Structure 1
């Protein structure tokens, strides 16, 4: 096979409109995500509420449309009432999911304030581990009902006259996992989720609900869990969730870069399962996907086992990301876009310090990790209509995958801006990949820029002392030939953003 790659992009071969919420993220009361991450009252750049403005600025760079909160495993033992009202009266609790002390300095109202400052919406999760429909209904009433009831008036008493209007809600978290507080069988979870969904929507009919899917494709009950849960909740929910994380524990970079193919399979199987339940129920309603936890996660595993329990905000899950991690994140973003017709929401887990694109030092600097860049680029330029990528590429076999294309790519057409953006990863670790892109259906075009994230060392990382060791440049070599054909040589092991102006 030729060592060249080719891609045809046709404006009429549409996957679907990209929901901006596909570029969401996640803040859990875990490690330094909240305390020392988004909130640090004593920091020199803290605002009047204690939120770090340097972190807020970096979050705004990504333009994160929605942020899931407050967990995660944390939510399955969380009493939401602990986090509202005067801070000095809030209890300190043993947090059993991560074995820390939770001081409740930040709760629902503060988080909604932070979201507004960040230009984001809140995606709230309710506790279906130790609690149930009653507490979930009360939380929706507190957050979204205007006034005149116990819980809405309590919100007003707490200083928030206007309802928060939170649109999207998760019905628990990873309830199939034995590590989860209040773990359940599919039938147990499906029943309580259905009952919680009913009263939550009766309280506010405008909300959307996400049912818990399997915690990962490797769970022994997958995809039977999805089939059972959706069978019990189908009429009441709008989304089913997916979670996945990848790592390079065996230092096999070729296999690591191929792992997004597992993400493709995961998405395909969940769609097939949801559509089976739709067919079974003779329903006109289609369940979409919320991939509300995804990322690379493995660097910090050993260190996490040595953390002394029962501290406030110890450093947990603080992966320091490498250049190859950024390439995998780029491939995962492409996987999401390739099924933008059904993956309507997604959350990179998480946003600050905890397996995150943004890192901080308590009392000190904040900086961008390597994975910040593909996430930022996709959010900035991946809005519009995702197009079917017709690709020919040389391939390789890895330990776990066969016929892995060296080129992983997708295109997004922003008709309003008159632009097409091609996101492309060259998985070849040994050389550049010549690429020809046929845009004939769009007519004449020109290159706006060709952004490249590359580094000679796959293990290179950004740190507080060297925050720009791995950073993108716009010196890519894409050119237009014959009016609507693009030629480029994608650098080895690189993430590429080729922005094209139409007309």
Structure 2
């Protein structure tokens, strides 16, 4: 059995838990929108076509902000196509995902859906094929009260479709998507994008000065322009933007589960590198404000090594409406990794103020649904849902003294990965912890300084189900194979928490505490 010793002190904190750290993403891609959140005629759809079985799971998952409408999709999107009477909306081809976009679901529908789901809208503008004027017009359409062309058109369209007429009051905006990527429609150099983003930001704020704006960062850490892209873009936009984006996807390669389970090490280093670049531009430009990070795409995504019909390269066989795209089935290993990635985001909550798991339904998602059929939770649903519900108050700095596990990619890493929060208002401390050990249980101790544990309010674990292996997953015919169960081997001894974690597991323990 491996060992781990964690220590927290209420005097050593990272930051308040960012409300927007538990975000998600809805893109017009595959079946995320159509037959995902929106399916008129489904037995559980309401009169607007919103699937209420999916809505129930979304509320249980607990996202706080949802990015929309893309993603690669937005770089060729005409937002005007998705407003007005549905019968008058044009049908277009979507070059990003080689599919047909009906525009039956657009901005009004999404804002109405978001209000019912109780999530904040994070709207993306097209800076691939469009620019300053189209973005400025969209802000006026969405946020201006009335008495102008675009705002009055919003009111007219809302009345015509029976949706929202009043201002949408969208505060958070993305200035494009992944424009460093050669695959992107409207791909640009850092200088080209930086100047366009700067002028677009200025024009948008002339319409609504209280916007929060996200500049496009690198599509991933392996991009050849990573680092120099952020530096150049921020050199143009630092005074105009509030955040720069980060995107990262992880998968298991060639059966190397040990390295996969340690991918939070990569996320930690990625974040630290972007923070360093931000602060270098801040110092060089003699800026006083702080730009932070919007990690607005992250997840496990099996991009290589698959030849299934839902892979993007397999569906380019003809133009289809909402084809199945990257509908990954997530197993126990994936859930443990997702838990550790959320730990990394929490550990950097002083600078990562927004994060969006991509995506919400069907497309590399915690929720799956079938057209005309049921909706259910994937394994990765559980770490997200519990952290979103229980991470409150302040993020605590954790001192970790743990046995090591050997990995091919990262060398020796701690056998446990953890994060913790303390909410003084409720007197609850939440510990989120993963055991990366694939065969051994872990004997973990948590010592508290400045806090005294008075009881354990809950303890749950996600681990390999009995008589199954680490690839167990929730599928249509077995929707509850993987989930949380009570963590039995947990207790308080001499003021310290003692836990035994099963091999390859993710757990949450919530303590009742008082200041000591």
Same-fold call, TM > 0.5? yes
Determine whether 1:14 maps to 2:25.
Answer: no
SS, match of residue 450 in structure 2: helix
CA distance in 1, matches of 2:303, 2:461: 25
Aligned pair 1:430/2:439, yes or no? yes
Q: Cα 1:476–1:286, aligned 2, differ >3 Å: closer, same or farther?
A: farther
SS at match of 1:13: strand
Structure 2 CA distance, aligned partners of 1:128 and 1:333? Answer: 29
Deviations 1:84-117 (A, max 9, x none): 0000000000100000000001001100000011
Q: Does 1:306 align with 2:314?
A: yes
- Assess if the C-alpha contact under 8 Å between 1:137 and 1:203 holds in 2: yes
Deviations 1:231-279 (A, max 9, x none): 0000000000000000113111101101111111100000000000000
Say yes or no: does 1:474 pair with 2:486: yes
1:347 to 356, 361, 364: 356
- How big is each residue's C-alpha offset from its partner over 1:406-433, in whole Å with a ceiling of 9 and x where there is no partner? 1100110111211000000000001111
- Partner in structure 2 of residue 113 of structure 1: 112
Aligned residue among 479, 504, 513 for 1:493: 504
Q: What is the aligned partner in structure 2 of residue 61 from structure 1?
A: 60
Match for 1:421 among 399, 423, 430?
430
Report the count of equivalent residues.
501
Counterpart in 1 of 2:101? 102
Conservation of the 8 A alpha-carbon contact between 1:291 and 1:346: yes
**CA–CA distance in structure 2, aligned partners of residues 108 and 77 of structure 1:** 16
**Deviations 1:427-477 (Å, cap 9, x if unpaired)?**
000111101100131124211111100015110000111010001012332
SS of the equivalent of 1:12 reads: strand
Answer yes or no: is 1:290 the counterpart of 2:302.
no
Q: 1:302 Cα deviation (Å)?
A: 2.4
Question: Gapped runs of 5+ residues in structure 2?
Answer: 159-163
Please say if residues 16 and 393 of structure 2, whose CA atoms lie closer than 8 Å, have aligned partners that are also in contact.
Answer: yes
- Please tell me whether the aligned partners of residues 84 and 107 of structure 1 are also in contact (alpha carbons under 8 angstroms): yes
1:460–1:470 Cα contact (<8 Å) kept: yes
The CA deviation at 1:299 is 6.6
**Cα 1:399–1:444, aligned 2, differ >3 Å: closer, same or farther?**
closer
Q: Deviations over 1:343-397 (max 9, x none)?
A: 0000000000000000001000000000000000110001221110100011122
Q: 1:172 aligns with which of 176, 180, 183?
A: 176
1:2-45: CA deviations, max 9, x gaps? 93110001111000011111000000000000001000001000
Gaps of 5+ in 1: none
Q: 1: CA distance between counterparts of 2:188 and 2:455?
A: 55
| Corresponding residue for residue 228 of structure 1 | 232
1:205 Cα deviation from its structure 2 partner: 0.8
2:161 aligned residue: none
Q: Aligned with 2:139: secondary structure?
A: helix
Would the aligned equivalents of 1:452 and 1:476 in 2 still touch at CA under 8 Å?
A: no
Q: In 1, Cα distance between the equivalents of 2:258 and 2:212?
A: 39
Match of 2:382 in 1: 373
For the 8 Å contact 1:450–1:477, the answer to whether it is kept is no
Mean Cα displacement is larger for which, 309-318 or 298-307? Answer: 298-307
Please state whether the residue corresponding to 1:32 is helix, strand or coil: coil
Which consecutive segments of 4 or more residues in structure 1 shift more than 4 A?
A: none
Structure-2 change in CA distance of 1:476 and 1:279 (3 Å): farther
2-structure distance, mates of 1:131, 1:446 = 57
- Whichever structure has more strand as a proportion of its residues is 2
Asked whether 1:359 is paired with 2:368, we answer: yes
Contact 2:93 2:100 in 1 (8 A): yes
5 Å-filtered alignment, 1:5-404, equals 5-159=4-158, 160-298=164-302, 301-303=306-308, 304=311, 305-307=313-315, 308-404=317-413
Give SS of 2:298's match: strand
CA RMSD of superposed structures (Å): 1.1
User: 2:182 & 2:314 partners in 1: Cα distance?
Assistant: 22
Moved more, 152-161 or 45-54: 152-161
TM-score, reference length from structure 1: 0.98
CA deviation vs aligned residue, 1:54-75 (integer Å, no higher than 9, x gap): 0000000011110000000000
